[in-house]
């Protein structure tokens, strides 16, 4: 476990690892699942340093896309939509 994790995240990691092991995952896979899930939670809660390149859209960019689509509709055009 990285030293940057708080006690709460270390407990979360251990709980997820135990849970995955109980469900029949190997020790290595259980560690990977626990680390990925814990890091995902840290990103979502804003506990990591921002490095850019986040996946998906944030709520503000969703609002921006909504505004662009609404404006295009008013102009009689169609905003480009992402797949």
Structure confidence by residue, pLDDT tens digits, 53-62: 555 555 556 6
CA distance 54 to 1: 22
Whether the pLDDT of residue 25 is over 90: the answer is yes
Residue 7 located in a structural domain: yes
Alpha carbon 28 to chain centroid distance?
22
CA distance 38 to 23: 18
Residue 83 inside a domain? The answer is: no
Q: What's the structural domain count of the chain?
A: 1
| pTM (predicted TM-score) | 0.57
- Let me know: does 28 contact 17? Beta carbons within 8 Å: no
Token reading at 30: 């259980």
Return the closest-CA partner of residue 36 out of 58, 25, 24.
25
Q: Is 1 inside any structural domain? A: yes
Residue, of 71 and 19, whose pLDDT is higher: 19
């Amino acid at each position: 476990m990285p030293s940057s994790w708080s006690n709460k995240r270390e407990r979360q990691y251990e709980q997820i690892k135990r849970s995955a092991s109980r469900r029949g995952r190997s020790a290595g896979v259980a560690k990977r699942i626990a680390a990925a899930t814990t890091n995902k939670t840290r990103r979502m809660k804003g506990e990591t340093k921002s490095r850019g390149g986040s996946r998906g859209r944030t709520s503000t960019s969703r609002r921006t896309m909504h505004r662009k689509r609404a404006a295009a509709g008013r102009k009689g055009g169609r905003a480009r939509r992402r797949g």
